[in-house]
């Protein structure tokens, strides 16, 4: 663990990304202490106000404080990213482990199922399913998670195919260990590193996908704030051109968080690479 942390700290961009992510998470958790405004409370007397002392990020077309909505929106956007990746990993780990360990017909069946998922454009399929079941934060989490499992499954399958022929797996088999124990107690911990890196980068992808669905009105439904549906309210041309404060805050928040997650993912990849120890 010390070696991993030492290699990770060497990557300055990864450390900067980690610090920024921690700050965003803390600001989302402690949002009630950082702003006195209710993110969903409308005040038509103060609608479309530019940034001021009372409203540092301005107000939207309903008079709601944009700083409050950005902070509270971080809760939803980050939660969607984390939960959807958790769903994706839960499915992908089980199916990838089974495919890689047993091989044969089971492997072929699972991988062809993954190919079917890959054959459809991700965003188009997500939009279609969301339109059928209706916009909801829970539907968004489930849709993004279920549609993203082929990536972790294929990655884990490749690791299992490589590791199941090693001596420690042969020894566990000779001692009578059951397949479930061998898969999840012996092989999975040794295949976890690339899976963790992939999951980190997938969080960024899920945040962008949620923003895209919410921007189209098919993700998190209003009045609940998310960075995507905040951008959706700023779509009219007169808002884009004349009221930039409505889209700058959520847009920059998405940009910084996704970029920081990518930096952390790159840092994790390098930290788990044993070749880095020789440099």
Please check the confidence at residue 167 and state whether its pLDDT lies above 60.
yes
Per the structure, the count of domains in the chain is 1
**Domain-embedded: residue 258:** yes
CATH code for the domain of 127:
1.10.3720.10
**Domain-embedded: residue 38:** no
Q: What is the pLDDT of residue 239?
A: 86
pTM of the model: 0.86
**Domain-embedded: residue 259:** yes
Contacts made by residues 58-64, CB under 8 angstroms, sequence distance 24+: 58/243, 58/245, 58/246, 60/230, 60/233, 60/246, 61/233, 61/239, 61/246, 64/37, 64/39, 64/40
**Domain-embedded: residue 141:** yes
Q: Which domain holds residue 105?
A: 2-29+63-278
**Domain-embedded: residue 156:** yes
**Domain-embedded: residue 21:** yes
- Look at residues 226, 16, 188 and name the one whose alpha carbon lies nearest to residue 89: 188
**Domain-embedded: residue 136:** yes
* Mean model confidence pLDDT for the chain: 88
pLDDT tens-digit map of 255-274:
999 999 989 988 888 787 65
Q: What is the CB-side half-sphere exposure of residue 166 using CA atoms within 13 A?
A: 15
pLDDT tens-digit map of 73-118:
999 999 999 999 999 999 999 999 999 989 889 999 999 999 999 8
């Amino acid at each position: 663990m010390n070696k991993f942390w030492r290699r990770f700290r060497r990557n300055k961009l990864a450390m900067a990304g980690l610090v920024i992510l921690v700050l965003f998470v803390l600001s989302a958790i402690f949002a009630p202490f950082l702003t006195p405004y209710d993110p969903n409370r409308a005040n038509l007397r103060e609608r479309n106000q530019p940034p001021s002392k009372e409203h540092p990020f301005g107000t939207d077309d309903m008079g709601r404080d944009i700083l409050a909505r950005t902070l509270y929106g971080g809760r939803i956007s980050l939660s969607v990213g984390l939960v959807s990746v958790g769903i994706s990993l839960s499915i992908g780990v089980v199916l990838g482990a089974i495919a890689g360990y047993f091989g044969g017909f089971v492997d072929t069946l699972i991988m062809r199922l993954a190919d079917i998922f890959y054959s459809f454009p991700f965003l188009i399929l997500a939009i279609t399913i969301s339109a059928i079941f209706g916009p909801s934060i829970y539907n968004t989490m489930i849709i993004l998670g279920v549609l993203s499992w082929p990536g972790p499954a294929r990655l884990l399958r490749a690791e299992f195919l490589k590791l199941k022929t090693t001596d420690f797996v042969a020894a566990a088999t000779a001692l009578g260990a059951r397949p479930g124990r061998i898969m999840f107690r012996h092989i999975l911990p040794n295949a976890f590193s690339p899976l963790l890196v992939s999951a980190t980068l997938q969080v960024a992808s899920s945040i962008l996908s949620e923003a895209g669905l919410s921007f189209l009105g098919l993700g998190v439904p209003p009045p609940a704030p998310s960075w995507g549906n905040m951008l959706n309210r700023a779509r009219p041309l007169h808002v884009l051109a004349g009221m930039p404060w409505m889209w700058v805050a959520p847009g920059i928040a998405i940009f910084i968080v996704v970029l920081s997650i990518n930096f952390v993912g790159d840092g994790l990849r390098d930290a788990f690479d044993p070749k880095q120890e020789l440099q």
